[in-house]
Structure 1
Amino acid sequence: MRDSLLSLALLAALSSVSAHAAEPAAPAASPAGELQALQCGQVFDARSGKLTGPQTLLVRQGKIERVGAAEADLAGATRVDLSGHTCMPGWTDLHVHLGSQSSPQSYSEGFRLDEVDFAFRAVGYANKTLMAGFTSVRDLGGEVSPHLRDAINQGLVDGPRIWAAGKSIATTGGHADPTNGYNDALSHLIGPPGPTEGVINSIEDARQAVRQRYKEGSDVIKITATGGVLSYARSGDAPQFTVEEVKAIVDTAKDYGYRVAAHAHGEEGMKRAVLGGVTSIEHGTYMSDDVMKLMKQHGTWYVPTIYAGRFVADKAKIDGYFPEVVRPKAQRIGAMIQETAGKAYKNGVKIAFGTDMGVGPHGDNAREFIYMVEAGIPASVALQAATIRAAEVLGVDDQGVIEAGKRADIVAVPGNPLEDIAQVMKVDFVMRDGKIYRSPGR
């Protein structure tokens, strides 16, 4: 019944939310086989991190057919003038939550709204994310996202390509325990959540929780290896899994071809997650030199989510925005992430791009690039983090670069973002799988 309602909501949203979106309307999809020629003033080479000068990109049937085409190759092609722009591979945000967006009402909405309400909202959030230049996302926690993914894949709504985690896996009382903050009467009525609800307390539970995510159609596994900032609980950094539990999750995930992302703020929780074999550490606030060394030894990726840290630290200054149990965590932890990201880069930790958007407003994802540069990360490295490095985290090789045979996911901004990273906030061309969703003047 729940799945049917979500599907109906997403179908209805095609004619409701999309029709009233504030973003520019998308041009009609190109007919199958039509040749498109994108005439770029500059092209960002994600492998080298450099600009390669003016290039014409030929696109056909959702793929890049040729890079650097000559005039003779353009016969019959539909031309798109991007001569004043830098063309880049479509960006990937490795940490979003498309089913929600932070507000002072967030903590009560779960009791007042139905899943269909969140599904309707998610359609709008997905559209904003795509129009901001993000052609792919990894949604790390939210029961709406697998259904939204399917609707996008079927062409029912517009949005980025989604790798969906579904329900995050937690321990009892952990950051993703859905019953945190419930009173005794409600807790007794509902009963303690278990692996089906993504809450574990043993190795066997861990295996069952992963298998349940497989049953529900997840693409990736998310665990909450430590406490969190916004959960209704005191600790934002205490470890919440044993190494053995993490390893059981990772090993079971491998059976289904899944990679595992670990939300983690505290040092001990990060160590256990890395030793357990996770693919990436998200947030990493209290990342020590020892943790960085361990991550380099194990090849673990770091997804900083600076945006979320700055956002919650700022909102913690506003009376009533967060519950009082959350407010001190937001003040203390949020402000530290940007400094940690800069330190991790200098120490050689592998960094990929993620915002934790849904904490902040969807569509503002590109501001993370600016915050990364402010942290001391070169603009070229920041752009690589959202292109080729993000593809490596996902384990795919058909996107993240502008090369013949790859997906035609292309975003363009005016000017030179390597000289002025603020240009990333001026996206006016977006193509995903060869379809133009945004173009200059529209």
Structure 2
Amino acid sequence: MKRLLLTATAAALLQAAPASAEKVVVTADRMLDVRTGKIVDYPAVFIGDVGRITAVADARTVRWGSEVRHIALPGRTLVPGLIDMHVHLEGSSKVKGYRALEYTDSFDIVMGVPNAKRLLEAGFTSVRSAGSGSYTDVAIRQAVDLGEMEGPRITAATNPIGATGGHCDSNTNRPSLARTNKGVADGPDEVRKKVRELRKLGAQLIKVCATGGVFSRNTEPGAQQMTFEELKMAADEAHMLGMKVAAHAHGTDGIKAAIRAGIDTIEHASFLDDEAIRMAKERGTWLSMDIYNTDWTLSEGAKAGVLEENLAKERVVGGRQRESFRRSVQLGARHVFGTDVGVYPAGLGARQFAVMVRFGMTPLQAIQAATVNAAQALGRPGDVGAIEVGRFGDMVAVSGDPLADITVLEQPAAVIKGGRLVTSEAPSKG
């Protein structure tokens, strides 16, 4: 077991290989300390040749030589690179429902390339892929790590595990078109085997579908679809292998079963009651609640081909989820930032920050959900999530104070990954 845990840790570090082999200093007018909420004036963030931060100093009192590349961001505020804990890399938000039948089989895979680039340019330097068919997220991660394409640091779940006919299966009414998704597993023994298989083929995270969903056909979001024994097997087996587990769970019973089973994060968590919130707090379970995408789905979904039966479910689930979010914040539950990007365009994930604030979070709490909290939930608290010595030099520069106006995160002025300037409105200095 110890050897496997070490292997998983080593794999995570290799996956986060630096994008830059030069020494860099980044300066700006301000920097947000996401732990304390304090604004630091005139930061100078030094990043070494392995892409990690070596020092954080006062730009007014330190000097650097010509061998250090200077990325100057005057008038900007630095925040850590953002982390989205629930994205889908493949496919297009313009192609949903039966419209997908108009596109070739490899279309979804190809769309992963621009989607990854858009996520990074939007300030999300790390993401967790919460499910992907055909191991697309593994392929994208490998291409990013090789430097063959632009994208964030990716933690891949590959095929989500679910019940036959459940949210993570492929459901039609025509026997001649019937197929079973690769993650389907019924009973604890099948779940155990599936966890091992997914890890063997590149998964770094296990996702299970504990309940029905909004966008699946012939499933009810509130209905539990995996038993406690199946969920516990997934959690126990994944943890033994050094992996985290995320559970798609809208309904109250499925949420509680997943928490009791030891699942690390509950995705969506739409129908919470006070007991479920208390259980999550007591067991240290994180909630990942995608409370923006209701706006997009109800305004744009029909144009993309989302079926009326799915829109009808969203009208019920979306409002209930937001009230659950508000109550969970009031009661002090632990939250991470997860958007379900893929349902809507990859570059728009930061729109969720304003919705989180509208439904009860302070701006600092919303930012912490996408930085230090997410890093902890990922199991990578020493790598990402803060601008601190030892962590990767991942930063986003914004215009203005995000604690005063959270919407400034929607339009990054610059994005830096591993000390490399990905995109910027301002020129860097050589």
User: Above 0.5 in TM-score?
Assistant: yes
Range with greater deviation from structure 2 (144-153 or 303-312): 303-312
Q: 1:429 and 2:414 equivalent?
A: yes
Q: 1:276 and 2:275 equivalent?
A: no
Secondary structure in 2 aligned to 1:263?
strand
Q: Is the 8 A contact 2:93 2:304 kept in 1?
A: no
Give 1:73's aligned amino acid.
R
- The answer for unaligned runs of 5 or more in structure 1 is 1-28
Secondary structure in 1 aligned to 2:224?
coil
CA shift, 1:103, in A, is: 3.2
CA shift, 1:54, in A, is: 2.1
1:327-406 counterparts in 2 under 5 A?
A: 327-396=311-380, 397-406=382-391
Q: 1:154 and 2:154 equivalent?
A: no
1:262-301 counterparts in 2 under 5 A?
A: 262-301=247-286
Q: Is the 8 A contact 2:96 2:304 kept in 1?
A: no
In the alignment, which of 5, 26, 29 is matched to residue 38 of structure 1?
Answer: 26
CA shift, 1:106, in A, is: 4.0
In the alignment, which of 210, 214, 220 is matched to residue 235 of structure 1?
Answer: 220
CA shift, 1:277, in A, is: 0.6
Q: 1:268 to 1:125 in 2, by over 3 A?
A: same
In the alignment, which of 40, 43, 49 is matched to residue 52 of structure 1?
Answer: 40
Secondary structure in 2 aligned to 1:73?
coil
In the alignment, which of 104, 108, 114 is matched to residue 105 of structure 2?
Answer: 114
1:216 is aligned to 201
Q: 1:388 to 1:290 in 2, by over 3 A?
A: same
After superposition, give the CA deviation of every residue in 1:134-161 in whole Å (9 maximum; x if it has no partner).
0000000113111101110111100000
Q: 1:182 to 1:98 in 2, by over 3 A?
A: farther
Secondary structure in 2 aligned to 1:326?
helix
After superposition, give the CA deviation of every residue in 1:195-253 in whole Å (9 maximum; x if it has no partner).
xx111221111101111211211010111111000001141210011111100011111
In the alignment, which of 109, 123, 133 is matched to residue 133 of structure 1?
Answer: 123
Distance 1:271 1:216 in 2: 30
1:184 is aligned to 175
2:9 is aligned to none
Distance 2:339 2:41 in 1: 30
Give 1:41's aligned amino acid.
D
Give 1:329's aligned amino acid.
K
Distance 2:155 2:230 in 1: 23
In the alignment, which of 77, 83, 88 is matched to residue 92 of structure 1?
Answer: 83
CA shift, 1:118, in A, is: 1.8
After superposition, give the CA deviation of every residue in 1:34-89 in whole Å (9 maximum; x if it has no partner).
33221121111122132222211112211111101454432223222223111011
2:394 is aligned to 409
Distance 1:52 1:107 in 2: 51
Q: 1:431 to 1:320 in 2, by over 3 A?
A: closer
Distance 2:303 2:324 in 1: 27
Distance 2:103 2:367 in 1: 40
Give 1:154's aligned amino acid.
L
1:256 is aligned to 241
Distance 2:183 2:95 in 1: 26
After superposition, give the CA deviation of every residue in 1:146-186 in whole Å (9 maximum; x if it has no partner).
110111011110000000000011101110012x1251122
After superposition, give the CA deviation of every residue in 1:350-369 in whole Å (9 maximum; x if it has no partner).
01101000011110011111
Q: Is the 8 A contact 2:259 2:285 kept in 1?
A: yes
Range with greater deviation from structure 2 (244-253 or 319-328): 319-328
- The answer for unaligned runs of 5 or more in structure 2 is 1-18
2:16 is aligned to none
2:55 is aligned to 66
Secondary structure in 1 aligned to 2:352?
helix
Q: Is the 8 A contact 1:44 1:52 kept in 2?
A: yes
Distance 1:354 1:105 in 2: 21
Give 2:233's aligned amino acid.
A
CA shift, 1:315, in A, is: 4.2
2:14 is aligned to none
Q: 1:175 and 2:170 equivalent?
A: no
Q: Is the 8 A contact 1:315 1:321 kept in 2?
A: no
After superposition, give the CA deviation of every residue in 1:99-123 in whole Å (9 maximum; x if it has no partner).
02333544342574223x2222110
Distance 1:104 1:158 in 2: 23
Q: Is the 8 A contact 1:307 1:356 kept in 2?
A: no
Distance 1:204 1:234 in 2: 24
1:26 is aligned to none
